Structures are given as structure tokens and as C-alpha cells.
Amino acid sequence: MNITIENVLLIGSLLLFISILAGKTSYRFGVPTLVLFLAVGMLAGSEGIGNIHFNDPSLAQFIGIVSLNFILFSGGLDTSWKSIQPVLWQGISLSTLGVLFTALGLGTFVWGITDFTIYEALLLGAIVSSTDAAAVFSILRSKNLALKSKLRPTLELESGSNDPMAYFLTIAFLSLVLSPDKSLWSIIPFFLQQILIGTAMGFLMGKLSKIIINRIRLDFEGLYPVLAIALMFIVFSATDFLGGNGFLAVYLSGVYLGNHSIIHKKTIMRMFDGLAWLMQIVLFLTLGLLVYPSQVLPIVGVGILISGFLIFVARPLGVMLSLVFFKMKMRRRLYISWVGLRGAVPIVFATYPLIAGIEKANMIFNIVFFVSLTSVLLQGTTLSLIAKWLHVALPMKVKPKSPVDAFLADGAKSLLNEISIPENNHSIGKRIVDLKFPRKAIIAMISRGDKFITPNGNTVIEANDILIVLTEDKETLHGAYESLKLPPKLKEEEEA
């Protein structure tokens, strides 16, 4: 079946519906949703029952880049600076040195067992050097598994930030394949340019995006997520235009926005959470359609060797070397080594050699697909088991959330306080988003005259307002008073 304008919506919606149902059933068996989405795409492809002919690597790459923007930006929004700060340097080392050592180790192995040139082998190693956060945590959530010793934020930071390094290595080694006369050292200036410009643009554009979101007054709340999407693509495109790593900039700008006060923040985050899931499904379906199973079968033998070396040697080697300067128990290092799932990102990166037209592009693509699939099937289905074997798991009891629980999701808000806003207070005329209110405090309601107002970030404070504030502890309450710049005597009156 050929995809046409007339049937694209019907085919797309049916595939999306089937994928969602498949993803729901996958939790019961502990299989990552990635596998199900890919399977649906393959079954619908030219060699499956759907007989949909799709062989356009350029379109697949475009879909992949767009999807990765949403996935990385959403991951950045969900990243808590407070949780990752204690493991910041460990995560950075894993997402840079860990990726580099994994790529070099696997590339050397591939060079030794195949007829690949050294640069072709290193290109393959670079493509599969990053991990997939979505696959990891979908399994952890399905098994109700909590992890000890700040393992979860370490894995979150690594998974969310290692794609830019893998992208850089992929582009760098691809350029060496196309121009073998270049020196390996020639990629160092390119690396510095990518990382420095990407990092600077990520924070600068994140700060600029915050100012734009908070100062533009839109008539409809639903337009704020649309504005955020536009800013996200501007960050990526502007950074790429300047020669920086656009994926890194998008992730860092998301982290910046996620840890600062912006108008309709929860609306934006919920919208991006849904869009990230949509983009993952679309991405996996597209890659499933692009794969020809008959071309994968001939490389199963070498694929098993490469996948086994990656899982049991290259990934652990990369983790151990990148964490050599940090104090960490061996069982934690071993578990981080095991949580090295390869997902859709390597398959997207494998389209670059296809588009460049290098000699072994098809073989590289099929090996990458096989490696990603086996990695998810083997490691993804044993994450909770290995965590228990290594004694890094904590039991986590899950109770259904009531509406009140959902409202208090940011923490256990146990203190309810009324704070009166006197005449001439500095907060009068300011919006809540501009008050620098503590993150752990919630203005649940405002009593204004004989009315009660449910506030949002755009709500302007008026004289004689009474703020009904929920806080975790007295320290957070003090922070709320300080942000409102209330005199000490009013603090004492309110706490009395």
C-alpha cells in the first residue's frame, strides 16, 4: 500500500491507536513500549501485513530530529535541579566520557571482527553509544521499582544529556569516513565548537525564553504551550546555524525553564509530556516502517557478537572509566552499566550514513537496528531483576492518587497559612510569576473582598489580598514572607 494524501490520516491514526493499545499491554509483561511501537511499524511495513511502502531515510531523519527536540525538551522540563545537583559531575562524566569510551571500545571491536575500516567501525560505535531514558523508566515505573543512593537522578541526567555527545561523534566520524585523509585530531575543534556554543545557547535562550513567556500577555492559556514549541525550535535552529549542538541547547533550555517560574508552567509541562509520548510513538513507527526484516536476518550473527560486546564489555568499560574519579560502590557502577538501553536515537543517527551514501550504510543501519532491539529486549526486561540482585532496589508502594494528592504533587504540603498583603507592599501590581515565590509553596487561593480567586502565574496581587498558602515547613513559609518582603512583625503575627 502506498501512502497518499487521501489515506495518510486513516493509516496514521490506526497505527497510533494500535501502538497505544500495544503499549498498554506491554507493561503487564515488562516489555518496553519501544519494542511494541517498532513491531507495529514493522508489521505495517512493506514486508509486513500492512504492505506500506516507505523507503525515505531523509523523511525519517527529519521526523527523528523533530521528535528528539520534543523528547529532549520535555525531559529537560521534568529535570529537577535540586535532585541532579548532588550527582551533576557524575552524570556529565557518564554522558560525555562514558559515551566516548563506549564508542571507542565498540568501534575497535567491530574493526577487529569485520571488514569495516577503522573510521566506519568507530562510526558504528558512535551511533549506538547513547542510552534511551524513555525505555529505562517505563520499565522502572511498571515494576514499581525505586532505586537507592541517588541512582535514579544519575540515570536520568545521563540518559537526558548523552544524546548530544553521540550526535557529535556520529557527525565527526561520518566526516572522517567521507574524507579519510583527515586526521582524527581534526574533530577536536569541532567538538569544542559544538559543546561550547550548544551550552551557551542553551542557557542564554532558556533565559530569553523565560522572559518572553512571562512578558507576552496571551489571551488564551492554550497558546502558551504553542509559544513554548516555537521557542524550542528557535533554540535548536539558531544553535545549529551558529555551529553548536542544537540537541544540547534544547535540553539545557528545557532544564532552565523547568527550574524557574514561568506562566502556566504546569499547562506547558503537561502538554509537552503528551507531545513527547506522541513523538516517541511516531518516531518508533516511522523507524519500524523504514526497516526491512529480510535485510536484518543476514547480519544476525555479527549483530549478536556486536550487541553482546556492547552490553557486557564496551558499556561497562565506558561506565567504569568515566566514574573512576568518583566514590561509588561497585554494585552501583554495575547497575549503571546494565542500564544502557539503546532505543530509537541510535536508529535515527543511523540514517545519517544512509543519506550520505557511504558504502556500508545499509549494513550499519541494520546492525544498529538489531543491536537496539536486542539491547531493549535483554536489558529492558531484566532491569528490576538486576536491581534486586545488586541490592540497589527499594520497595515502593503505590497508592491511587486522590484529587488532593494530585494537587499536592510537588511535596507534602502540611502547613496552611493566610498571608495578608498590606497597603504599599512591593508585591502590589506584580504577577505571581514575578514574585520569586518558593517552589515548595503553593498559593492555593486568594481572598479578595467578598470573592475567592483561583490564581495562576499571571494573576496580579492587589492591596488587602489574603493569600491562602500551602507550605511544607516553616522554612518554606519564611521564604514566602521574604519573597513578599513583609516586615518581621507581620511574620510573628501570622505564625502566632
How many CB atoms sit inside 10 A of residue 432's CB? 20
Q: Using the CB atoms, write b or e for 326-362: b if 16+ within 10 Å.
A: eebeebbbbbbbbbbbbbbbbbbbbbbbbeeebebbe
More confident residue, 193 or 52: 193
More confident residue, 375 or 206: 206
- pLDDT average, residue stretch 183-201: 89
Of the candidate ranges 127-141, 169-183, 229-243, the one whose mean pLDDT is the lowest: 127-141
Determine if residue 449 is left, alpha or beta; phi over 0 gives left, psi from -120 to 50 gives alpha, anything else beta: left
pLDDT at 203 over 50: yes
CATH 3.40.50.300 assigned to domain 403-495? The reply is no
- pLDDT average, residue stretch 390-399: 67
**Each residue's pLDDT tens digit, 440-460:** 788 888 888 888 888 877 788
The pLDDT assigned to 475 comes to 77
List where CATH 3.30.70.1450 sits in the chain: 403-495
The pLDDT assigned to 149 comes to 67
pLDDT at 138 over 60: no
pLDDT at 401 over 80: no
pLDDT at 31 over 50: yes
**Cell numbers at 320, concatenated:** 567504569
More confident residue, 185 or 314: 314
Of the candidate ranges 29-38, 178-187, 217-226, 339-348, the one whose mean pLDDT is the lowest: 29-38
pLDDT at 250 over 90: yes
Percent of the chain's residues with pLDDT above 70:
86
The pLDDT assigned to 119 comes to 94
Model confidence at 139, pLDDT cuts 50, 70, 90, reads: low
- pLDDT average, residue stretch 390-414: 55
In 91-205, beta strands by DSSP E: 145-147
Q: Using the CB atoms, write b or e for 104-142: b if 16+ within 10 Å.
A: bbbbebbbeebebebbbbbbbbbbbbbbbbbbbbbbbeb
The pLDDT assigned to 361 comes to 93
DSSP 313: I
- Closest by CA to 426, choosing from 376, 487, 356, 371, is 487
Q: Are 428 and 408 in contact (CB under 8 A)?
A: no
The pLDDT assigned to 141 comes to 54
**Each residue's pLDDT tens digit, 204-224:** 999 999 999 988 888 888 899
Model confidence at 408, pLDDT cuts 50, 70, 90, reads: very low
Torsion from C-alpha of 197, 156, 264, 271, nearest 10 degrees: 100
The pLDDT assigned to 84 comes to 87
Q: Are 419 and 432 in contact (CB under 8 A)?
A: no
- pLDDT average, residue stretch 357-384: 88
More confident residue, 258 or 437: 258
pLDDT at 135 over 90: no
Q: Under CATH, to which class is 8-395 assigned?
A: mainly alpha
Amino acid at 493: E
The pLDDT assigned to 246 comes to 93
Taking all residues of the chain, what is their mean pLDDT, rounded to a whole number? 83
The pLDDT assigned to 343 comes to 76
Helix 300-309 and helix 361-380: axis angle, to 10°? 60
**Each residue's pLDDT tens digit, 69-78:** 998 898 889 8
pLDDT at 134 over 70: no
Of the candidate ranges 167-181, 285-299, 397-411, 454-468, the one whose mean pLDDT is the lowest: 397-411
Please state, in angstroms and as integers, the Cα–Cα distance from residue 36 to each residue in 71, 234, 370, following that order.
18, 33, 15
The pLDDT assigned to 489 comes to 44
